[in-house]
Structure 1
Amino acid sequence: MNHINKVVVVGGGTSGWMSAALLKKILGNTVNIELIESKTIGIIGVGEATIPPIQTVNEVLGINEAEFMRETKASIKLAIKFENWWQKGQSYFHTFGAPGQSLPFCHYHHLWTRAESLGLKTNLWDYDLNYLAATAGKFAKLETQDPMYEMKYAYHFDSALYGQFLRKHSEKSGVIRTEGLIENVNLNPATGNVESLTLTGGGTVTGDLFIDCSGMRGLLINQALGTGFEDWSHWLAADRAIAIPSERDTKTLPYTRSIAHSKGWQWNIPLQHRNGNGIVYSSRYCSDDEAQDTLIKNIKNKTLADPNLIKFKTGRTRKQWNKNVIAIGLSSGFLEPLESTSIYLVQSAIVRLLKFFPHKGIQASSVNEFNNQSQREYELIRDFIILHYCATSRTDSQFWRDMKALELPRRLTEKLDMFKENGTLVHDDLDVFWEPSWLQVMLGQGIKPMGYHPLASQYSQAKLTEIFTNTRRAKSAPLEKMPSHDEFLKLYLE
Structure 2
Amino acid sequence: MRDDLIRKVVIVGGGTAGWMAAAAMSRIIGGMPGLSIELVESEQIGTVGVGEATIPQLVLFNQLLGIDEDEFIKATHGTYKLGIEFRDWVRIGHRYIHPFGFYGPDMKGIEFYHYWLKGRGLGDATPLDAYSISAMAALSTKMMRPRPDLPNSPVSKIAYAFQFDASLYARFLRTRAEAWGVVRTEGRIVEVAQDAESGFIEAVLLEDGRRIEGDLFIDCSGFRGLLIEQTLRSGFEDWSKWLPNDRAIAIPTESSGDETPLTRATARPAGWQWRIPLQHRVGNGHVYSSAHMSDEDALDLLLANLDGAPLADPNRLRFKAGYRRQAWVKNVVALGLAGGFLEPLESTSIHLVQSGIARLMTLFPSRRWNDAEIRRYNERTIREYEDIRDFLVLHYLATQRDDTPYWDYCRNIDPPPGLAEKLEMFRSNGRVFREHEELFTETSWQAVLIGQEIEAGGYHPVADLLSDEETLTRLRHIREVIADTVRQLPTQREFLRMNNSASDVVMKRAS
What range describes the TM-score normalised by the shorter chain of this pair? over 0.9
1:47 aligns with 2:54: no
What is the RMSD computed on CA atoms of the aligned residues?
A: 1.2
**Partner Cα distance (2:197, 2:437) in 1:** 36
Aligned equivalent of 1:436, options 419, 443, 449: 443
Which structure 2 residues correspond to residues 42-441 of structure 1 after superposition, within 5 A? 42-145=46-149, 146=151, 148-149=154-155, 150-359=157-366, 361-441=368-448
3-state SS of 1:313 partner:
coil
Q: Secondary structure at the match of 1:7?
A: strand
The secondary structure found in structure 2 opposite 1:132 is helix
**How much has 1:359 moved relative to structure 2?**
3.1
How far is the alpha carbon of 1:104 from its aligned partner?
A: 4.6
Aligned to 2:28: 26
Within 1, Cα distance between the matches of 2:233 and 2:445? 36
Deviations 1:375-401 (A, max 9, x none): 000000000000000000000000000
Letter in 1 for 2:238: D
Q: 1:4 & 1:376 partners in 2: Cα distance?
A: 27
Residue aligned with 1:421, SS: helix
CA deviations over 1:110-147 (Å, ceiling 9, x no partner): 11111222222222211110011001111122422527
Q: Is the Cα–Cα contact under 8 Å of residues 376 and 430 in structure 1 kept in the other structure?
A: no
SS in 2 for 1:29: coil
Q: Deviations over 1:22-55 (max 9, x none)?
A: 1111112312110000000000001100000101
Consecutive unaligned residues of structure 1, counting only runs of 5 or more, are none
Deviates more, 1:102-111 or 1:222-231: 102-111
Per the alignment, in what secondary structure is the counterpart of residue 220 of structure 1? coil
In structure 2, do the counterparts of structure 1 residues 104 and 23 end up closer, same or farther at CA, with 3 Å as the change threshold? farther
Deviates further, 247-256 or 236-245: 247-256
Report sequence identity in percent.
Answer: 45
Matched, 1:453 2:460: yes
Q: Encode CA deviations 1:175-207: one digit per residue, 9 max, x unaligned.
A: 000000111111101111000111101110000
Contact 1:197 1:206 in 2 (8 A): yes
Determine the structure 1 residue equivalent to 2:6. 4
**1:329-355 deviation digits (Å, cap 9, x = unpaired):** 000000000000000000000000000
2:508 is matched with: none
Once structures 1 and 2 are overlaid, which stretch shifts more, 99-108 or 224-233?
Answer: 99-108
User: Please, which runs of 5 or more residues in structure 2 have no aligned partner?
Assistant: 503-511
Structure 1: distance between partners of 2:480 and 2:119: 18
In structure 1, distance between residues paired with 2:377 and 2:101: 30
1:468 aligns with 2:475: yes
- TM-score, normalised to structure 1's length? 0.98
* Structure 1 residue ranges (4+ consecutive) displaced by more than 6 angstroms after TM superposition: none
Query: What is the CA-CA distance between 1:18 and the residue it aligns to?
Result: 0.3
Separation in structure 2 between the aligned mates of residue 132 and residue 119 of structure 1, nearest angstrom = 22
Distance in 2, Cα, partners of 1:46 & 1:224: 27
The residue that corresponds to 2:505 in the other structure is none
Aligned letter for 2:404?
S
How many residues align structurally?
Answer: 494
The one-letter amino acid paired with 2:71 is E
State the SS of the aligned residue for 2:497: helix
CA apart distance, 1:435: 0.4
Shift of residue 473 of structure 1?
2.3
Q: 2:15 aligns with which of 3, 10, 13?
A: 13
Aligned-partner Cα distance in 1 for 2:437–2:40: 31
* Contact 2:221–2:338 under 8 Å retained in 1: yes
TM-score (norm 2): 0.95
1:360 deviates by 5.1
Contact map agreement 2:217 2:332 (CA 8 A) in 1 = yes
